[in-house]
Amino acid sequence: MRKVANQSIWRIQNSKEGGVMRRLLVVAALAAGLVGLAMVAGAATNYTNKCTSTYQIDNYTVQPSGSDTAIVRVLGNPNIQVFKWAKNVRTGIEDADQVNAVSGDSIEFRVTFENIGEADADTVVLKDYLPGGFITGSIISNTVTPSATVNNAATSYTGGVLTATYNGVQGTDSGSADNGQIRFTARVP
């Protein structure tokens, strides 16, 4: 994972007060000395639906009888985190920010993703656009965690555009967030 310099994120659990869901996200930008509060996007919310019954015999008073509830848990949306590295195959140097190259060098790109949101994503599509003039290479590997699948029919690498498609990418609510990685090459013009 790529670290953001001098930044920390804390997530405070949901709390209910007076039926209002309160969610907090505390972001401390230590380098700037700033601290801010914002709403957490995508935290699950429980809704309780209650059904009650009454009965009445003849014209006597209505009497309460049984009741039951059902809880609907609305999950936060999927949140696909993506990280990318470049490696100059000739020099063996790999970096998340920058690698040096000369004309004709082969560059291996590595893209990883993870669904850090609560809900599962039915489909995740990664698109990667090569810089102008780069020559499309090949896909070296394309893997995901066991509960997700690579949709090979919808994965392509032509004309300087990589499109990688994955199905059934679990979120954090399932207990284990799915992740994957694709590696592909291109030649420097």
Q: How confident is the model over 31-54, as pLDDT tens digits?
A: 333 333 333 455 789 999 999 999
Query: pTM score, two decimals?
Result: 0.70
What is the structure's pLDDT at 42?
55
Alpha-carbon gap, residue 113 to 125, rounded angstroms: 10
Class of domain 80-187: mainly beta
Kindly give the residue spans of alpha helices, DSSP state H, lying in 29-103. Answer: none
Q: How far is CA 73 from the centre of its chain?
A: 19
Q: Where are the beta strands (DSSP E) in 57-147?
A: 63-74, 80-88, 94-95, 106-115, 121-129, 135-144
pLDDT at position 44 is 87
- Residue 180 phi, psi dihedral angles, 5° rounding: -160, 175
**Cα(61)–Cα(122) distance, rounded to whole angstroms?**
53
Residue 3, strand partner residues? none
For residue 2, pLDDT beyond 70 = no
What is the Cα–Cα distance from 129 to 24, expressed in whole angstroms?
36
List CB contacts of 43: < 8 A, sequence separation 6 or more.
14, 21, 23, 76, 118
pLDDT single digits (tens) 130-141: 999 999 999 999
| pLDDT above 60 (res 24) | no
Query: What does the alpha-carbon distance between residue 47 and residue 152 come to, in Å, rounded to a whole number?
Result: 39
* Position 15 pLDDT exceeds 70: no
Instruction: For the chain, state the CA radius of gyration.
Output: 25
pLDDT in tens, 91-126: 999 999 999 999 999 999 999 999 999 999 999 999
With a CB cutoff of 8 Å and minimum separation 6, the contacts of 125 are 154, 163, 164, 165, 166
- Distance between CA 131 and CA 109 in Å, rounded? 12
Per residue in 140-167, pLDDT (tens digit) is: 999 999 899 999 999 999 999 999 999 9
User: What are the domain boundaries of the chain?
Assistant: 7-48+67-74, 80-187
Nearest-angstrom CA–CA distance, 172 and 174: 5
